[in-house]
Amino acid sequence: MDALENIKSRRSVNYFDPSQEISDEDIKKILELSALTPSSLNLQPWEIIAVKSSDKKKILRKCAMDQAKVEEASVVFIVIADINACERNIDSVLKSWVELGYMDVKTAVFYKTLPQKLYGEFSSQKRKIFAVKNASFFAMTLMYAARTLGYETHPMDGFDEDAVKKEFGISEEKTIPVLIAVGKLSPSAKLLPRAWRKSVKDFSKIV
């Protein structure tokens, strides 16, 4: 698939073919590509639960306003924004940067204190925004990555976040910015024309 075409022809698909299964191998390929997403200080504050079994999809559907596409999609990715990533990953990030020649050890020592300075203390709103922003970069890449393997997607935010956390064992302090349904377009579905978009002149200016 052409890269321009991937952006132009991506649509949020409402009707998936429920007879289509996805292999664990394809899920892994999609996630490997998505893992190349850039993130703030390379801290990668994302976690994924790929909901694939029909039992778990039934549970997730109940948490998501009973939307049929949760069960009809081949897999639904729960995208989790992890505010713990600063403390958890900074050492791995800096070790890699020193080893690969991005910076010397002295600079790395200074950088160790940067996450708290830039992204706020653990429970701050700033920290939550840091995590949501980067997990959303990941989610957008995932949508494009899935299409390179022949799948369509639908980003969903009509769900009860607390219920999803409870059912899938996700800690309270994390955020779930989006669920992404992934599968093959139902052969009986007809895509409607793309809906309204703001025009470039309405949302931007050049200075």
Is residue 112 a contact partner of residue 47, using CB atoms and an 8 Å limit?
no
Q: Which of residues 7-46 bind a second copy (CB under 8 A)?
A: 7-8, 10, 12, 24, 27-28, 31-33, 35-38, 40, 42, 44, 46
Q: What distance in Å separates the CA atoms of residue 47 and residue 68, rounded to the nearest whole number?
A: 24
Q: What distance in Å separates the CA atoms of residue 60 and residue 76, rounded to the nearest whole number?
A: 9
Out of 18, 20, 118, 163, name the contact with a second copy by CB under 8 A. 118
In whole angstroms, the minimum distance from the beta carbon of 119 to a second copy comes to 8
Other CB atoms closer than 10 Å to residue 49's CB: what's the count? 18
**108 scored as a contact of a second copy (CB under 8 A):** no
Count, residues near a second copy per rule CB under 8 A:
81
In whole angstroms, the minimum distance from the beta carbon of 200 to a second copy comes to 5
In whole angstroms, the minimum distance from the beta carbon of 19 to a second copy comes to 20
Q: What distance in Å separates the CA atoms of residue 34 and residue 113, rounded to the nearest whole number?
A: 27
**105 scored as a contact of a second copy (CB under 8 A):** no
In whole angstroms, the minimum distance from the beta carbon of 157 to a second copy comes to 5
Write each residue from 171 to 200 as x if it is in contact with a second copy (CB under 8 A), else as -, in one continuous string. Answer: ----x-xx-------------xxxxxxxxx
Q: What distance in Å separates the CA atoms of residue 118 and residue 126, rounded to the nearest whole number?
A: 9
Q: Which of residues 58-97 bind a second copy (CB under 8 A)?
A: 75, 89, 92-93, 95-97
Q: Residue 50 or residue 73: which is nearer to a second copy going by CB?
A: 50
**49 scored as a contact of a second copy (CB under 8 A):** yes
* Cβ within 8 Å of residue 130, ≥6 positions away: 40, 45, 83, 86, 118, 119, 120
Q: What distance in Å separates the CA atoms of residue 110 and residue 28, rounded to the nearest whole number?
A: 35
